[in-house]
Structures are given as structure tokens and as C-alpha cells.
Amino acid sequence: MHPKTYLVPIFFDEKRFVADIENGNPIDVFRGALGFANNHFNKRFYDGENAHQLVNERAHFADLILRHAWNRFEWDADVSLIAVGGYGRGELHPHSDIDLLILMRRDKPQRYRQSIEQFLTFLWDIQLKIGHSTRSVSQCVDEAKGDITVATNLMETRLLAGDIELLNKLKTKTGPKKIWASEKFYHGKIDEQKARHRKHGDTEYNLEPNIKEAPGGLRDIQVFNWTAKRHFQVHRRSLLIAEGFLSEEEYATVRRDEEFLWKVRYGLHLITDRPEERLLFDYQRKLAAMFGYEDSAERLGVEQFMQRYYQVVMSIRELNEVLLKYLDEAIYRQNKVKVVTQINSRFVIRDNDLDTTEESVFVDHPPALLELFALMGESEGILGIRASAIRQIRLHRGLINDEFRADPENRALFMRILKAPFKLSNQLQRMNRFGILGGYLPEFGKIVGQMQHDLFHIYPVDVHTLEVVRNVRRLALPEVATKFPVAAHIYKNFRSRELIVIAALYHDIAKGRGGDHSALGSVDIADFAERHGLQPKEIELLKWLVENHLLMSTISQREDTSDPEVIHKFATHVGDQMHLDYLYVLTVSDINATNPRLWTEWKGSLMYNLYFETKRALQLGTVAPNSRAAWVLEAKDAALRALHADTIESDAAESVWRDVDQDFFLRESAEDVAEFTKAILANQDSQKAVILINDVGVEIPVATQIFVHSKDRANNFSIIASALDRLNLNIHDARLNSNSDGSAFDVFYVLDEQDQPIGQDRLRCEKIVQTLSGAIADPSKINAYVQQRTPRQLKNFALKTTAKLRHDVDANCVILEIITPDRPGLLAHLTQIFVRFELRVLHAKISTLGERVEDIFYLTDKNFEPLTDSDVSAALTATIRSELDQRNEEEGQEYKLRKMKVWN
């Protein structure tokens, strides 16, 4: 038996199709029909048609094709063809599998073996992508009893061909009255969702999210669909409105959000020509262009597209949370609670969850929209919010308008929230998720979901901002204080901790507007502070913090903090200890919230050194810096005292140091200088390099120091950089010195691929010594161009190289700043260019920021004189830009070709 009626797409001539099958090759006819339909649907998609319509029509067209294919073979009334899973829901994206169940009344597959084999072979021949199973009703029941996924698939079934009574029997035997009762099914799906969310980092804000499986993705919609449908025993989501499970507003929101994700998924399938669910960087750009997002002066089109994506998935996760919570509280537990504690006339606590006393609370008293979060932050015992209260928040958040924001009561409540002792970051995250934070602070609302298309910023701006607040507040925890002892000590001594919280909340508030976000943000934070009654000195501090929130990390990573002039300049800018303390805490919290993987103990030590050297300068007074010569003399004396303890005379040490660069004594500790000197004096073979490897750090190792003393060559840096590259070591600091004897005193600070020091790995250190010794003795053994494969993510960024030169009169050199995409062997390539231009590197600061590097080189000509020839300078920067960009472009083309081979 067949279904009485089914939809025939208006674009498809079924009579002609049937006639063509009878008169021609059936496989060619079916293939032609499928190809024609695909082109038809895809054209409509490119023309901007609704994704819901296309996905549903695709499924209906597949129904028609499958019925005609089924009817070509012999069947009886005891077997049916059933659509299951997503296809069973009537959904079919361009490259999604068509999931089929061949359902038998009894377990007698031999009876239909020939027909089944012929049917499936035909489907494969016409190139339909199918997933299939062949089971009897009893087998389906047994499978579903033990596997909630099977039970879920069998909930979403449609008859394609055969006897409807057979399908009805299956639905009855696998329904909630027989197996997987509603509440048990609910808890099973919740457990599945938790595991799935953990797999994706429990965040909807991944850089390359999976639009189906990640938090806030399509699967989160299906979870509350499945659980509610099973409980109410309805087959369509729209019927959940009549059951009181979904409000009209919630239904419309789900439909809108699902439409966006279906559109994205449909587009993904088309541009990849496969069932792709990952929103990789390359696809993000293509989809943004496909959907009409264009670059503006302020923001890239892809950033605008991804902001919309993150806003949608945040909305879905919010609905997923409130609807599942409502199903548990109001339906399974029937609103039964053990303990009710009255707080005031507006709020009560029901079993540790905050709830309203009346449905009209927010209408009657709009400030309650903020009061709720203040109460949660002031009571450690309140763990969450009742689903009914969340629904009321969603319904009435539109009450937050200009009049609401100007109300002194609301301003006082917001300050109460910021001063609350418990779980402030959790409250702000809830406020953000429910649209309250962006409503009360419109400037914050503009950054919700706003991302930057790079690997450095792994979170949208709003999530990053709230993570900075979390990092600040967590400094009070003992386990965090162990990792960040200086920042934690400073934070504990702040009298007004809300000030650093406000600075954290506003430090990136102006991103995406164009211009200097630090300067624009300082205007916003001053306006906030004035509206909320802060004192003039507090307002000035907050403005200064936002204006300078990038300064400390920039100086620590890009400048030589062993130079007294650098410290003097920074200390003068900071002005006093209070500003230094607030800036240090904000900077540490900011870096760790931008991308935790980018914070290393090495970078932490650079910040630590800058903080304490500046603190000392402030204590001594910053009107005039200490004499550079005095610093050098003090450092030499300290090294000589250490050598005297080992019975080494001053004359011997001075003979080693003969006219060595003064920077050597400023940058290295007295203990290290003494150890280097002892090793040089102990070396019996002057032709052989002295190489020392040690981990450095105050309490824990932060980097591995490699000291190399050898004959000074113009290409020393190139040789050593190439050798270390081959050993998979990343140079983070290079300090190159020499004396009048023609000897090099080079010090490198390196980390491995995981940004860890390697000084305790004896075998690896021996390999380093062996490789460096061989390379220095015979540079021809080292291939300067390292042929490591560039990671996929890096190849998706088309950043153009910038190279700028500026003269440093005090240092008698030029400073070269290079920004370029990160690639294996980059440093070795750069040093080869320096060799060709007969340049010497005095010092190098290497900083990797996600997909790009920002490197600083202090250069002279081969005679240690600064570059004065403008033509040479121009040729140098042009060569760097040209060669690095050409290399990046070649790698990009290679990557695209490799992808095409995979897809084809």
C-alpha cells in the first residue's frame, strides 16, 4: 500500500519523468532528475529564498524519487520504506544523508533480500547519499530500548512507501508509554548534551565552530524539540504553543534563529561540495561574501557575518537553557519545592533558585530587572534563576530604555552589582545572555558577538571583556594567587575593587567603531563614571587605564626593559605607584582573557621585570634616570665579586670582556655573566664554540637560555637561528654582543613548540649543543630555509607584510619593525636577508600573536654603524615585504590545490 497523497514540486513534470523511465535508461533518467532538482534548489538559494522552504522541498522531492525507485521492485504489505532522523523530520540539506529504514513486520530478511539489494544498488547507482538499516518492528524496539539515539531517530519517522499501520505499530511500541518514559528520556538527552558541549569546549564562541554540534548550534534546538515532543506526544514544534511549552515569542525566535543557521549550513554544503558542518576561517569569508556582508572602514564583512552568527547561537543557547529548565521545574517536578525563603515583596528563593513573587513584578517595578542580579551577587546561597523568572526577564527586557538608564535607583543598583561579593562575572554573563547588560549599557550591546578575524583574539569582544572581569575577580582565590602572586597581592590591597572591574568592563568597549578604541573608550568610561557618581580622581584614573591598557604589554614584549632609558620613560608616563598597580592587574587579566595559550611564563617574567624595575624607579624618583654607565659599572662589579668567589682574578675576566658591548652587562644578570666568563676561560680550544644551556626564572623555569661564545661572523645570527629552527625551538629574545677581539657573546631565550623551557631535558640539550657546534664550525651544513608544513589555520589569513625602519640615536642603530603572518622558518628567512644586505643584528625581540608575528630588530651595518643610506633602507624593507608575501602566497596556492584534490 502507498500513502494516498504526496506533494509533487511544481517545477517537476512527474508524468514526463515516468514516461522517460519507460522509454529510456532508468539510471540516467533518475540521475537527470536529481541533477535538475539540485540546480533548481541551489539557484533559488542564491536568489535569496528562505532556507526552511528549500530544505523542506528538497526532502519532499527526495520522497518522490524514492517512491518511484521503491516501486520498481517486488514488495508485499509486510514491509515499508520509512524516512528517519533529520530526513524523517522533513529536512534535507544539499549534502545531508538520506536516512532510511526498511521496516519489516517480522524478522524475515531473506524474504526480501533480492529486492532490498536491488533497491539499494539502484539508489547508489543514481548517486543518492543514503544511510540505511533493515529491521523488523521487534528489532527496532530492542535497539531503541538500549540506545537513546535510536529511540530519538524512531521518534522522527515518516512513511515513504508501504503500509502506514506498520509504522504506527512501531511508533506505539517505541513511544514513551512503552520505552524511554518522558522524564527518563529528558535526563538522557541532557547527559548527551553536556557531553557534546564539553567536546566543544562548553562555549558557543569557538573561532571555527561546528554549527550543528557546538553549544548554541542546531542540535541544541533539536534537544528541546525532542524532549518536549516526547513529553507532549506531538509531532510538530508549532503544536507546543498550544501545550503551553512555547510562547509565541519563543516560537518566533527559534524559527528565526534556525532559519539563519539553516542558511549557513546550506551555504556551507554548497561551497564545500560535501556535508561540512565546521565553519572554518576560509568558509567564513566565502559565506560572508555570499550573504552580502561587505568590508567597511571599521570592520571586515566576515566580522559582521560572524557577529550575527555568535548572536544567534547565544540566543539559541539561552532558549535551550530556559526551555529545558522549564520542562524540569514546571512539568516533571510540577513546581514542587522543599524550601521557600522570602527576600522582599518582589523576590523569593525556591530551593536555591531566585524567583519572582508575581508575573507582573517587572512591569510593576522595572528596577527589579537589575535588582535580581544584585541579590544574586549578594547571596552566596542563590545558585540560579527559576525558568519562570527567566521567561519574564526575556518578555520585559524591553522596559530598559533611556528613562530606565537615567533613573538614580537603577544606577545605584548597577553599582551594587559591580560591588557584589559573590560570582560577579557569572552575574554579568547572565545579564549579557538575557540581554540586560547590553540594554543597560548600549555601548556594551554594540560589542555583543563582535569578533576579530584572527587567531589572536579567540573570543568575541563581549565574551573577552567578561573574561577579563572574571580574571580580575579570581585573583582573590588562593589557587590563582599562586600563579599570579604579584597581581593577586596588588588586587587584595585595592580599596575600591570596583574601579578595576569598571576598567575591565570598558577597556575594549569601543572596538569596531574605527579609530583608536583606547581613546574612544576613555570617553565612554568617563561618561559612565560621571553618571554613576564616581569622584573626579577616580574618573581620571579610569580614563587613563582605558587609554593605556595596551601600553604595559607592548613595552614588555617589544622593548628592552633592561635599558634604564626605557624604564625611566615608562615610569615618567605612569607617574605613581597607584597607576602602575592598576595597570599591571588590568594587563595581566587582559592578556589571559585574550587567548590563554598566548600567556607563557616567559611573557609573565617580562611583565614582572617591567613592573618591579618601574616600581624601583618610582621609589627613587623619575626626574632623572640613573646613569647608564653607572648601571654597567655596578653590574660588572657584581660579576667580578662572583668570580672572585671562584678564585678568578679581575684581570682574567677583563681580558675576556675586552670592549664587549655595554648592553651585555645591562641585559644579563651578574651571576650569568660570571658563569659565561668561567666557561670561556675554561675552554682549551679557542676555535671551538662555548655553548651553555640553562633554564631561567625566579621560582619556576620560564625559558631556556642558550649562551654561545664563538668567532664573531656577520651571519652568526642566521646560522644559529636556522639551527634552532631545525630543532623546533622558538627564539623569543636574542641578545647579540661582541668585543674588540672579534668574539661573539650571544644569548638566546627559547621555548619549545608548547611554549615550555627544555633545559631539564638532558638528551635534547646535548642535541642542541651538537647541532649548534656543527653549524658554527661549518655553516654549509645548515639549510636556512626550513621546510616545515604551515598549519592550516595560518594559511587562511592573507595579512600583508609591513616593514618599517626608524633611527634610534641613543642606541646608534636602526630599529626594524616587522609584522607578517607566522610561518615555520620565518626567522631563518629574515636573517638570510640581513646577511645579503651585510647587516648586523644587535638585539631581537620576537613576539607571536596568533596568526602573526611582530618582530623587532636592532640593526647596524657590517661596521656597527647605523644605516644612513636611504636607498639601502628602502631596498631592505621592500625585499622583506616582497619575499615574505611571495612565500605566503605560494603556500596559500599550494593549500588551495591540496584542498581541491581532497574535495575531488
Strand pairing partners for 734? 748, 844
Q: What is the pLDDT of residue 891?
A: 59
What the block records as the C-alpha cell of 150 is 535510536
Q: Give the sign of the dihedral formed by CA 250, CA 253, CA 259, CA 265.
A: negative
Cα angle 78, 70, 109; round to 5: 40
Distance between CA 495 and CA 5 in Å, rounded?
75
Distance between CA 168 and CA 152 in Å, rounded?
16
Most confident of 185-194, 601-610, 704-713: 185-194
Residue 794 has pLDDT above 70, yes or no: no
Q: What is the pLDDT of residue 742?
A: 79
- Give the distance from CA 560 to its chain's centroid: 30
Which is more confident, 810 or 603?
Answer: 603
Lowest mean pLDDT among 136-140, 522-526, 699-703: 699-703
> Which amino acid, residue 876?
L
Query: Could you tell me the pLDDT band of residue 453, with boundaries at 50, 70 and 90?
Result: confident
Residue 619 has pLDDT above 80, yes or no: yes
Residues 6+ apart with CB under 8 A from 181: none
Mean pLDDT along residues 684-704: 88
Residue 510 has pLDDT above 90, yes or no: yes
Quote the strand ranges of 380-493, DSSP E.
384-385
Residue count (the chain): 904
Q: What is the pLDDT of residue 326?
A: 92
Domain residue limits, the chain:
14-180, 181-335, 337-440, 471-620, 667-888
- Quote the CATH superfamily of domain 14-180: Beta Polymerase, domain 2 (3.30.460.10)
Output the 3-class SS for 338-356.
Answer: CCEEECCCCEEEECCEEEE
The DSSP H or E segment spanning 526 is helix 517-531
Dump pLDDT digits (tens) for 249-295: 999 999 999 999 999 999 999 999 999 999 998 899 999 999 999 99
Strand pairing partners for 747? 707, 735
230-to-141, 189, 194, 315, 430 alpha-carbon distances in Å = 16, 11, 20, 23, 29
Mean pLDDT along residues 701-727: 89
Query: Could you tell me the pLDDT band of residue 162, with boundaries at 50, 70 and 90?
Result: very high
Other C-beta atoms lying within 10 Å of the C-beta of residue 197: 20
Dump pLDDT digits (tens) for 222-240: 999 999 999 999 989 999 9
Dump the DSSP string for 601-616. HHHHHHHHHHHHHHHH
206-to-234, 455, 497 alpha-carbon distances in Å = 34, 11, 31
Tell me how far apart the terminal alpha carbons of the chain are, to the nearest angstrom: 41
469-to-25, 464, 482, 531, 571 alpha-carbon distances in Å = 68, 9, 19, 21, 26
The domain made up of 181-335 has a fold known as Four Helix Bundle (Hemerythrin (Met), subunit A) (1.20.120)
| CA nearest neighbour of 99 among 91, 107, 111 | 91
Q: Give the sign of the dihedral formed by CA 526, CA 528, CA 530, CA 534.
A: negative
Q: What is the pLDDT of residue 902?
A: 38
Please report where in the chains the cell 598549519 appears, as a residue. 791
Q: What is the pLDDT of residue 602?
A: 87
Residue 899 has pLDDT above 50, yes or no: no
14-180 and 337-440: same fold?
Answer: no
Upper half-sphere CA count for residue 471 (Cβ side, 13 Å): 25
This prediction's pTM: 0.84
* Number of alpha helices (DSSP H) and beta strands (DSSP E) in the chain: 41, 17
> Which amino acid, residue 521?
G
Dump the DSSP string for 110-124. GGGHHHHHHHHHHHH
DSSP, collapsed to helix, strand or coil, labels residue 416 as helix
Dump pLDDT digits (tens) for 532-541: 999 999 999 9
Q: What is the pLDDT of residue 1?
A: 40
Distance between CA 299 and CA 451 in Å, rounded?
10
DSSP, collapsed to helix, strand or coil, labels residue 337 as coil
Distance between CA 54 and CA 62 in Å, rounded?
12
Asked whether the beta carbons of 504 and 586 are under 8 A apart, the reply is yes
Residue 795 has pLDDT above 60, yes or no: no
The domain made up of 337-440 has a fold known as Hydrophobic Seed Protein (1.10.110)
Residue 3 has pLDDT above 70, yes or no: no
Q: What is the pLDDT of residue 8?
A: 61
Q: What is the pLDDT of residue 778?
A: 87
Work out the burial of residue 569: count CB atoms within 10 Å of its CB; fewer than 13 is exposed, 13-18 middle, 19 or more buried: middle
Most confident of 9-23, 130-144, 597-611: 130-144
Supply the DSSP symbol for 330: I
The DSSP H or E segment spanning 853 is strand 852-861
Q: What is the pLDDT of residue 895?
A: 43
Q: What is the pLDDT of residue 813?
A: 87
What the block records as the C-alpha cell of 284 is 567564513
Task: Cite the DSSP H helix spans in 621-733.
Answer: 628-644, 650-657, 663-667, 670-682, 716-726
Mean pLDDT along residues 300-321: 94
Distance between CA 774 and CA 794 in Å, rounded?
32
Q: What is the pLDDT of residue 623?
A: 45
b/e code 14-51 from CB counts within 10 Å (16+ = b): eeebeebbeeeebeebbeebbeebeebbeeebeeeeeb
| Percent of the chain residues past pLDDT 90, beyond the cut | 70
Q: What is the pLDDT of residue 188?
A: 96
- Give the distance from CA 857 to its chain's centroid: 30
Work out the burial of residue 191: count CB atoms within 10 Å of its CB; fewer than 13 is exposed, 13-18 middle, 19 or more buried: exposed
Query: Mean pLDDT, the chain, as a whole number?
Result: 90
Quote the strand ranges of 290-439, DSSP E.
340-342, 347-350, 353-356, 384-385
| Percent of the chain residues past pLDDT 70, beyond the cut | 94
Strand pairing partners for 80? 103
Q: What is the pLDDT of residue 851?
A: 63
Dump pLDDT digits (tens) for 197-216: 999 989 888 889 999 999 99
Strand pairing partners for 340? 350
Residue 56 has pLDDT above 60, yes or no: yes
Mean pLDDT along residues 287-307: 93
What the block records as the C-alpha cell of 501 is 572591574
Query: Could you tell me the pLDDT band of residue 700, with boundaries at 50, 70 and 90?
Result: confident
Dump pLDDT digits (tens) for 576-585: 999 999 999 9
